[in-house]
Copies of this chain bind each other. A is one copy, B any other.
């Protein structure tokens, strides 16, 4: 099977997200890195792209140049990944979708709910794939959890409890470090800090595993380092459309937590637990029974998990291959095999609506607030 052609915008030298996408796209030999506009400095971007093996004529100086040139080529790229600063996601995503490209956009897909709704409409009109990189949902054991929920193995879900907390912004003496500060500055980060940065991964995960949507929420935000305008710690209670109760904690001042992204799902007949720092196990307890450890790759596991497991049971696979799983789904989808686990534009706008609802609720002393985008009410 010939490789698909892949292009990337943003993710230049020194970025964290660039290498993750390049590994994700290439690890399984599914995509060829064919075109790029990697840097806001045109020359650096062109040079770096060529160093990474992109041919000179497709190493572009900016995304507009890339859009124009690729649109004109008969062998245009099959997929464009957008990993530019958050505030530019909307414009670039929209432009490429309208030109008929499939897109994988980094989160957040947009800065406002209105923009998000527009992307949903544009994607629909274009008939192209618009995916959003909620890559944690592509871990095999998360796919398994979702499959188990869908097949009723834990009964109707009563309660989902999730957190995504770290302590890497916990040092007040480091709070003015530009790499940290921008996240808590509304001029750069928008309306929300930690909730928009990490919380929405957890919120997406809850919706994904429960196969449901957040309907309303109540939020409590705190700036535990006083110089921060935006929150560095947040608690969000929510209710899903199907009645599930949700609890979400996110923090960037939880010193000692490296990357505590955990989720617990409690249903009528069982409970599930997953922790991102040990992603190859899913902990399952049937009601009245013993806790069991389900291993990635174990015999007889659900196909949804099996197809994303590359190596034998108990050989751990980690975060970079969760990103690669998104690309596996994309390759399948581009070739016409629907992958309903692939997060899309609807997920993107729902996240944005939840962020804005949480901000409003937090300002309103925790008042319960509709968390749905108007288009999905």
Interface residues of A (CB under 8 A from B): 1-3, 16, 19-20, 22-23, 26-29, 33, 51-53, 154, 158-159, 161, 166-168, 170-172, 218, 220, 222, 224-225, 233, 235, 237, 245, 247, 249, 251, 253-259, 264, 266-268, 270-273, 276-280, 283-288, 290-295, 298-299, 310-321, 365-368
Contact = CB atoms under 8 A, between A and B. Distances in A.
List of 8 A-B pairs having minimum Cβ-Cβ separation, nearest first = A256-B285, A258-B314, A259-B314, A255-B271, A256-B271, A316-B318, A315-B319, A158-B224
A294 B256 CA distance: 12
B33 A315 contact: no
B273 A159 contact: no
- How many of these chains are in the complex? 4
A347 to B, nearest CB: 21
A95 to B, nearest CB: 27
A315 B271 contact: no
A171 B319 contact: no
Contacts of A292: 290-293
A316 B279 contact: yes
B259 A1 contact: no
A222 B315 CA distance: 26
Given A237-B235, A277-B314, A311-B319, A253 B158 contact: yes
Contact of A233 (B22, B245, B271): B245
Nearest to A272: B256
Contacts of A315: 259, 318-320
Contacts of A317: 318-320
A240 to B, nearest CB: 12
A59 to B, nearest CB: 14
Contact of A159 (B222, B259, B318, B368): B222
A224 B253 contact: no
B313 A161 contact: no
A342 to B, nearest CB: 21
A27 to B, nearest CB: 4
Nearest to A255: B271
A21 to B, nearest CB: 11
Nearest to A245: B222
A167 B285 contact: yes
A23 B16 contact: no
